[in-house]
Structure 1
Amino acid sequence: MKRAVLLTLLLASGAAAQTRHNTNAPIDFGADTIELQDRANRAVLSGNVAVRQAEMSLNAARMTVNYTGQVVGGNPQVSRLDAAGGVVVRRPDQTARSQYAVYDLNRRVITMVGAVTLTQGGNTVNGGRLTINLDTGRAVIDGSSVRGGGTAAPGGTTTTPSGRVTGTFSVPKRN
């Protein structure tokens, strides 16, 4: 039986922890190529994909942008971003890295899987899956992932090689 390891982190401190991400801000993007698939309500971006929304950026080798089909102010309404290949999410106080990520704009949640690393200042946490709630700033990381380079476990999940969350927390310097 797989032993679940779950660590809930509120890495940000003070006012930064209370700052909500502006999920209503426009999403700007850049990529080497883009393929529009209008009938499927999606666009596939590839090659040095860079996405920015307010103070957050998301970079990957490839990304699929799903939209609802509704157009507001001449712009399609994006509902989900699926990123793959060297995914990096940067916020003013945090950087997260993984193999894959899904940004669900309706739920305002980013889920990252596959060799996840979350850093803030001198703190680093590693695991298989990271979920970031952009409304609350709460980040949850565990040792399992849906995809990735581990071993298969019951229920279709994959565990990291150790199946554990690991990391380093900095301590205040004393005089």
Structure 2
Amino acid sequence: MRRLVLLVPLLLASAAGAQRHNSDAPINFAAGAIELQDRANRAVLSGDVRVQQADMTLTAERLTVAYTGQVLDGSPQVSRLDAAGGVLVRRPEQTARGNYAVYDLNRRLITMVGDVTLTQGSNTVNGGRLTINLDTGRAVIDGSAVGGSSAAGGVRQQGGRVTGTFSVPKRQQ
């Protein structure tokens, strides 16, 4: 199967130079319920979950927070967030949507899969998988990743295409 990859640095970096995301900032959350699973070093949040870190917000129906066994300043060290159900990631001037997302705090990467849409202004790119490097602001959209939900509630394969719309500046006459 042919894989199409589109590099979209302009969608994630402003022309004046992208500000690096502060992955060391505290993670604040709100949810309908939380289940702490200390022996497994994780917490499961459900019900209209909202996570805020610096200038980035993630919302989803369900979120699993994995943390290391280490405690620093009285808090467990979060290493990974797994989000499912209508995932939305907002950063200044950018929005990404997908069915699932993984935020690897150690690698500073967000990977989204399933009917992914990345939007900045009037520019939109759609695909099956999106990887955002929070250090560089670089995004890679892959059209051949697993796509959205089928009518039976399963997962279907994308057609292998990345699609989108880029705005064109108005020309003076």
Q: TM-score, normalised by structure 1?
A: 0.91
Match of 2:171 in 1: 174
Q: How does 1:102-117 map to 2 (within 5 A)?
A: 102-117=102-117
For structure 1, the 5+ residue unaligned runs are 151-156
Distance of aligned partners of 1:57 and 1:70 in 2 relative to their CA distance in 1, 3 Å threshold:
same
Shift of 1:164: 0.2
Match for residue 159 of structure 1 among 150, 157, 160? 157
Residues 25-78 of structure 1, C-alpha deviations (whole Å, 9 max, x = no match): 000000000000000000000000000000000000000000001111111100
Q: How does 1:93-108 map to 2 (within 5 A)?
A: 93-108=93-108
**Any runs of at least 4 consecutive aligned residues in structure 1 with deviations exceeding 4 A, and if so which?**
none
Match of 1:60 in 2: 60
Shift of 1:158: 6.3
Shift of 1:163: 1.5
Q: Is the 8 A contact 1:144 1:158 kept in 2?
A: no
Q: Distance in 2 between matches of 1:34 and 1:147?
A: 29
Q: Is the 8 A contact 1:129 1:143 kept in 2?
A: yes
Residues 87-144 of structure 1, C-alpha deviations (whole Å, 9 max, x = no match): 0000002100000000000000000000000000110000000000000000000112
Match of 1:9 in 2: 8
The answer on 1:41 being equivalent to 2:37 is no
Q: How does 1:68-87 map to 2 (within 5 A)?
A: 68-87=68-87
Shift of 1:5: 0.6
Q: Is the 8 A contact 1:99 1:113 kept in 2?
A: yes
Q: Distance in 2 between matches of 1:159 and 1:13?
A: 32
RMSD (Å), alpha carbons: 1.5
Moved more, 93-102 or 141-150: 141-150
- Aligned partner of 1:171: which letter? V
Q: Is the 8 A contact 1:143 1:159 kept in 2?
A: no
- Aligned partner of 1:26: which letter? P
Secondary structure of the 2:39 match is helix
Q: Distance in 2 between matches of 1:99 and 1:146?
A: 10
For structure 2, the 5+ residue unaligned runs are none
Match of 1:135 in 2: 135
Q: TM-score, normalised by structure 2?
A: 0.92
Q: Distance in 2 between matches of 1:21 and 1:158?
A: 33
The answer on 1:89 being equivalent to 2:86 is no
- Percent identical among aligned pairs is 72
